[in-house]
């Protein structure tokens, strides 16, 4: 059986004391779909100029720099396949990968922008937005021939 394993590490570090939490583990058959959740401790910044929440998803493959997949919650970056879909609002967001392929094996990050004036009260002059980044999500694709048992 081909399985997609998603291992997630949680980070609560940010310069504005806003946490970004991601779930434990998710599995999907190769060719199936997987949904990765990203939940923030506070609402992500809502921009009235684009009528959107400023939440982005990044993908990092071995030996490469992180690549922007999705920005403004659901807008695909140039070159992002339509199999990748972002959704969500307020503090709950998801990245869905349909028709999972072997090349989807990578590290995934969600990044939220937050209203520094609302959440950071200790600085007299704060930027309108500051960001918090979830630590990482590692996707490993297993082949049907693999005899290894799921973790």
pLDDT digits (tens, 9 = 90+) for 74-118: 999 999 999 999 999 998 999 999 999 888 888 788 888 877 665
For residue 131, being part of any structural domain is answered with: yes
User: Does a structural domain hold residue 103?
Assistant: yes
In a domain, 112, yes or no: yes
pTM over 0.95: no
The Cα 1–Cα 13 span in angstroms is 37
Answer whether residue 78 is part of any domain: yes
In a domain, 76, yes or no: yes
DSSP class of 104: G
Q: Is residue 126 part of a domain?
A: yes
Residue 141: which residues within 8 A CB-CB, separation 6 or more? 2, 3, 4, 5, 30, 100, 101, 102, 104, 105
Residue 148 belongs to a domain: no
pLDDT at position 26 is 63
Range of the domain at 114: 3-140
pLDDT of residue 4: 37
Is residue 149 in some structural domain? no
- What is the domain-level CATH number for residue 96? 2.60.40.10
* Structure-token pair, residue 92: 């709950």
Could you tell me what percentage of the chain is helix, strand and coil, using 3-state DSSP and rounding each to the nearest 5? 5, 50, 50
The 10s digit of each residue's pLDDT in 134-144 is 545 555 455 44
Q: How confident is the model at residue 120 (pLDDT cuts 50, 70, 90)?
A: very low
Q: Write out pLDDT tens, residues 44-80.
A: 899 999 999 999 999 888 899 889 999 999 999 999 9
Q: How many domains is the chain built from?
A: 1
Instruction: Give the pLDDT of residue 103.
Output: 86
Confidence tier at 11 by pLDDT (50, 70, 90): very low
């Amino acid at each position: 059986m081909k399985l997609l394993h998603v291992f997630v590490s949680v980070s609560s570090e940010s310069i504005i004391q806003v946490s970004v939490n991601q779930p434990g583990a998710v599995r999907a058959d190769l060719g199936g779909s997987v949904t990765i959740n990203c939940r923030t401790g506070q609402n992500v910044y809502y921009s009235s100029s684009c009528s959107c929440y400023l939440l982005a998803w990044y993908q990092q493959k071995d030996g490469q720099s992180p690549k922007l997949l999705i920005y403004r919650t659901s807008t695909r970056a140039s070159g992002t396949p339509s199999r990748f879909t972002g959704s969500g609002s307020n503090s709950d967001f998801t990245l869905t990968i349909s028709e999972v392929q072997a090349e989807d094996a990578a590290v995934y990050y969600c990044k939220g922008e937050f209203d520094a004036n609302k959440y950071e009260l200790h600085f007299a002059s704060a930027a309108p937005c500051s960001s918090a980044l979830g630590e990482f999500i590692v996707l490993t694709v297993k082949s049907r021939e693999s005899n290894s048992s799921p973790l």
